[in-house]
Structure 1
């Protein structure tokens, strides 16, 4: 299917989401923001007025959405920003892969904490997982987290996003499976408490195996950064950048992808760029 057709479908779906007040922005096939930063390494969340700030570009204004997509002709999907004043929404990302079942984990939590999951907007992911959207009280700051609430349950709050239904990615299409006229329901109070509870123990980072297929080079490193648990983003970014500079030729391209992944997770651009530069220096010393 021509890329232009994916782009057209993504724009159509993004506009439909924006019509419901959800802030959206274009995504590339790798699920990262489709627009590159106009000033990599600098701390900016769009205050400059230019495009290319990931989730901070998100808007529910159809004119702005059209402009974003026209500036990103290779976009094949869109992201829905979570935890923003335009529409206070939290995303519950339930993974089903690598022996982890986030759906079962969430069902176990409903029993343990005695709450019911109200049917809400739900999306089936290419890996068989689910994305569930819930409304939070205005002004509620929900942090992003990965497997902190329970294994396989990622929370997307302020500065985070979910891939919107209808988006095409390298892994497949994200498909809405909720009722046609379903709305985003209020998040159960017990689930909100779990999502906002202070973290007492930071998980240690676990190295992912490097892909052997040259066509996927660097993809595991990007995923390693994107799946960083709360409090481990910078450590994972440094580790991944070290591996990129040590093991790959043409590693500047991978480093740029790592920077975009870190920024998409909420890492300030300037700090992320410094971390990558430090990794480059360290890798250079190791090679001597």
Structure 2
């Protein structure tokens, strides 16, 4: 069996277990080139393949079709969606992520579940599969938890077991194999989540209230006029502008949140998603 066939076989097995998959190259990158020019923000809305993790699917026929479009694929990715997150432990370039994780556990009082899916990487590291509560969004991060520890969260992916990389094969833990991913310890989950935005004390308002109201109304209208596929981006843009006015003392934080969340839910975004986007925009302004 070729590496391509082995990757397809393992990808189909993962898809049957409910994991969304897509083919990858020997460099562990998505195997189907993008149909768009650089700088696009399409996440598959065009209906064509070539959108990386957004191609990932659990449909058997679609998995076969994707691999058929990527004859040089020797691996597959598993999209981190829903409740699945991955803890990527690296051991390379003098960094030992296992030591970092052990120290983090001692400091914050948690242990990684002993029986959860663990995939060993060719370099000596591991991908630990964990789950988070329904509705919780964990962002991707590189080294934020500490040296050699990355988090594969929403919009990220894990290399599937049975994939081949330049350094070798990704394999299940030999003693446990595949097992149901276990919940991330609460203390670890808290570390994975971004800190809440810091809203500085408001300065004295120097803009007339009616002018401030018109500014916020204009930003709300930007959100309300968003087309399908641009809603979250335009909400982020409007929130960034609004938080800048909060920092200048021209708008109240509570008004900004209430008005933008209201507009976002009117156009079909979930309240939790809208809150996360608005908070993320606030962190950018206050960074």
Give the TM-score category using the shorter length: 0.5 to 0.7
* Partner Cα distance (1:63, 1:167) in 2: 20
Q: Which residue of 2 aligns with 1:185?
A: 182
Gaps of 5+ in 2: 198-287
Runs of 4 or more consecutive aligned structure 1 residues displaced over 6 Å after TM superposition: none
Deviation at 1:162, TM superposition (A): 1.2
Matched, 1:12 2:9: yes
Aligned to 1:152: 148
- In the other structure, the counterpart of 1:232 is none
Q: Output the CA distance in 2 between the equivalents of 1:96 and 1:199.
A: 31
Match for residue 29 of structure 2 among 29, 32, 46: 32
Aligned to 1:210: none
Q: TM-score, normalised by structure 2?
A: 0.65
Match of 1:100 in 2: 95
SS at match of 1:10: helix
TM-score, scaled to structure 1: 0.65
- Structure 1 residues 225-264: aligned runs within 5 Å: none
Aligned twin of 2:134? 138
Identify the match of residue 127 of structure 1 among 112, 123, 132.
Answer: 123
Find 1:66's aligned residue among 57, 60, 64: 64
Long gaps (5+) in structure 1 = 201-288
Instruction: State which structure, 1 or 2, has the greater radius of gyration over its C-alpha atoms.
Output: 2
Distance 2:149 2:178 in 1: 26
**Deviation of residue 175 (structure 1)?**
1.0
CA distance in 1: counterparts of 2:31 and 2:181, whole angstroms: 26
The CA distance in 1 between the partners of 2:11 and 2:37, in whole Å, is 26
Q: Does 1:113 align with 2:108?
A: yes
